[in-house]
């Protein structure tokens, strides 16, 4: 019987001035940076990368937990100009 899971923590940041989501993870398991203009597409990309890293690099085929830390940056000078 299999128990437990492997956990990856990923920081997803929206950059308002560039209109892009960036996902970054750096821990004892692996380092990753990827980006996309769509949050849903970014999550799909992150999922594929993490599944590949878990299986190929770490030899792990069990359950995977992805913890997202989501941040949005806003350029206040740009926001004030468009308001």
Residue 32 lies in a domain: yes
pLDDT, tens only, 51-82: 999 999 889 989 999 999 999 877 777 555 55
Q: What's the pLDDT score for residue 77?
A: 73
Question: What token pair was written down for 20?
Answer: 């892009």
- Number of domains into which the chain is organized: 1
DSSP for residue 28: S
pTM: 0.78
Residue 83 lies in a domain: no
Residue 21 lies in a domain: yes
Residue 82 lies in a domain: no
Residue 27 lies in a domain: yes
Tallying the residues shown for the chain, one arrives at 83
Range of the domain at 34: 8-75
**CATH number reported for the structural domain that contains residue 15 in this entry:** 3.30.2390
Distance of CA 83 to the CA centre of its chain: 30
Residue 3 lies in a domain: no
């Amino acid at each position: 019987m299999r128990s437990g899971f492997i956990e990856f923590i990923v920081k997803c940041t929206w950059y308002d001035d560039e209109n892009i989501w960036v996902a970054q993870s750096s821990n004892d398991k692996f380092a990753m940076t990827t980006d996309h203009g769509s949050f849903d597409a970014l999550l799909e990309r992150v999922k594929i990368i993490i599944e590949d890293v878990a299986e190929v690099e770490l030899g792990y085929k069990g359950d995977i937990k992805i913890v997202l830390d989501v941040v949005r940056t806003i350029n206040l000078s740009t926001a004030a100009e468009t308001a």
